Structure 1
């Protein structure tokens, strides 16, 4: 399959950028009713519907859910791209429909999606509520899990731009990361976790053709309160997807494509039964995510520190702020004069010129907006140099 061409043909163009809510997906669900079964499986804290999509009629059942954290929408976009492909007349799509039954919860946390927050309306992280089951959204997911009885679970998330992978050269962004969650404190590998490991290796093999050295492995510390760990412990092979940063792709429009690639290659690998051989070495050779990036770094800056001039380095990081149904990226100064600052997604060499803040100060203040001058003529607005 030409994955690039498939995504270009089937990308859901009505879903774009970072802010995705029920209001955005409901018109698409209306169109998908002719191909798939659409249900309301429950309600959120604020009474918003939680939708499910049943696609296919095959024996192998996969439960997929996205936006458990409301502000993590990249995988939601990729799921609808995949559904557009799945309803096509190609022999590959028909084979998946014949061999799989997919149960998809595209937005598990509609209140958090509307507010653009990680938590639900009760300010609870649903991914720490697997045991307590204190929230209606958690109960909906558990009920679907118990009723659907999946053979695999896909727990789909976004990860921050800070995560990268150390390579032989310059660190690279962790554009897509995976995890086969642990099922016990010892992080042992049983048959169920082994299947998840082998599946991840198969998806990684595909992604290396497109984003070499930009696929990571998430930390596998065990926490039974996390949904993935809980379902793995319940005996269902579970894979965590983390959609991360691609170079300058803050809207995650490129990353969604690679999640689409991973989904299709994973279905193919399960269908062709190529995930039966132990792939532990290959899995643990996938580099682990590390906190190595800032969004922007400014090097060789002249600052005045304790009445002494010195050449320093500082960094800024974007905060995602919802404004009139649009997510804005606002840069704030986050790290100052720390030589351990590793690498930025963007970097500026200030060439020894002086930092000048908006009030004329010569030292950047922590957690203030990144609007300043370097020297007399280099102007930075929202962290970026402007003409």
Structure 2
């Protein structure tokens, strides 16, 4: 795939939440997921093909890999949304979805959205963790015969706990060259959680949450809830999507909280079901579930960008949050951790 023409595979959409767990198909593999080099090749190819797209390097990882920012900015006066993926290197299906979204923007399938919104995408913040190129052993991870993927960066630091101190180069790059450089109104931070969280007795396809720190501006929290309403209405209605309310803390070291307080940006956490690799059986998900989780990401990005572009997000009804049940974990799964 050196020419950047990455082919997106067609996946079968299956019943929500019932995709095979690790013990269901006995195989965790990362070979079908884009490597860092394949991602970069794809982004550079799309940059040459799409007049509306710009590609910027915002910094480097611990191991010296360039961190890329995809930009669709036609008018700084338009509202701007940032999509952030793979703060945790073993959470890649959101990156696969972001790549598909970029391709859609270039083919006209979603291109009209750009008339009303600026879009920024950081498609792989933690490239070292995604490639398993780290300074600690990954012998206990589950992926067989492929590269291992870990939550942490090369120095075994959780980047989503570094949004106050900003010690790691990846976090510094994000804050210095994205958060402080561009006027951002909304952000969705895309993650993965375990495989056995449920709502109303059914396994969820993902979970969402707005900022919960008491230091957040209530008006910005309301905007965050509107962002969540757009996601919920477009995903939960598909038949294969089933969302719960995430159990999340109020620490401002987490991007969902810290970025809201520091920059006044409306933020939403979206935790997709299952991780690409892990050392716990209950967190890794069989590859046959890739299809609906990638599509869930594409749906999320397309729907939120469209709602911001046409202004309908301002009318989004946030009352659903009052009745949305917080997801619970089926026996045998440890608590999720954003």
Structure 2 match to 1:216:
244
> How far 1:218 sits from its partner (Å)?
1.0
Secondary structure of residue in 1 paired with 2:232: helix
Instruction: Tell me, yes or no, if the aligned pair for 2:117 and 2:308 is still in contact at 8 Å.
Output: no
Structure 1 match to 2:175:
142
Match of 1:163 among 197, 200, 222: 197
Supply the distance in 2 between the matched residues of 1:87 and 1:276 (Cα, whole angstroms).
Answer: 27
Structure 2 match to 1:83:
102
Structure 1 match to 2:84:
65
> How far 1:21 sits from its partner (Å)?
3.1
Structure 1 match to 2:25:
none
TM-score when normalising by structure 2: 0.75
Alpha-carbon displacement from aligned partner over 1:265-295 (angstroms, at most 9, x marks no partner): 1122222322324734212322212211659
For CA contacts below 8 A with separation 6 or more, give which structure has more relative contact order: 2
Structure 2 match to 1:202:
230
Alpha-carbon displacement from aligned partner over 1:133-160 (angstroms, at most 9, x marks no partner): 1100010111111001211111111111
Query: Greater share of strand residues, 1 or 2?
Result: 1
Secondary structure of residue in 2 paired with 1:27: helix
Query: Greater share of helix residues, 1 or 2?
Result: 2
Structure 1 match to 2:144:
none
> How far 1:85 sits from its partner (Å)?
0.9
TM-score when normalising by structure 1: 0.66
User: Aligned pair count?
Assistant: 279
Supply the distance in 2 between the matched residues of 1:181 and 1:211 (Cα, whole angstroms).
Answer: 27
Structure 2 match to 1:54:
71
Instruction: Give the unaligned 5+ runs of structure 1.
Output: 1-9, 296-316, 318-387
Structure 1 match to 2:317:
279
Match of 2:40 among 11, 20, 26: 26
1:175 aligns with 2:178: no
Supply the distance in 1 between the matched residues of 2:251 and 2:125 (Cα, whole angstroms).
Answer: 21
Deviating above 6 A after TM superposition, structure 1's stretches of 4 or more consecutive aligned residues are 14-18
Moved more, 286-295 or 62-71: 286-295
Secondary structure of residue in 2 paired with 1:157: strand
Supply the distance in 1 between the matched residues of 2:32 and 2:291 (Cα, whole angstroms).
Answer: 9
Instruction: Tell me, yes or no, if the aligned pair for 2:10 and 2:291 is still in contact at 8 Å.
Output: no
Secondary structure of residue in 2 paired with 1:39: strand
Structure 2 match to 1:123:
156
Give the structure with higher Rg (CA). 1
Match of 1:242 among 259, 267, 271: 271
Aligned counterparts, 1:250-261, within 5 A: 251-261=289-299
Alpha-carbon displacement from aligned partner over 1:238-271 (angstroms, at most 9, x marks no partner): 1111111599665522211012112211122222
Alpha-carbon displacement from aligned partner over 1:55-113 (angstroms, at most 9, x marks no partner): 242411112211100010011011111111111235xx332122222111111011111
Secondary structure of residue in 2 paired with 1:288: coil
Instruction: Tell me, yes or no, if the aligned pair for 1:194 and 1:278 is still in contact at 8 Å.
Output: no
Instruction: Tell me, yes or no, if the aligned pair for 2:70 and 2:122 is still in contact at 8 Å.
Output: yes
1:73 to 1:248, Cα distance in 2 relative to 1, 3 A? closer
1:266 aligns with 2:300: no
* RMSD of aligned alpha carbons: 2.7
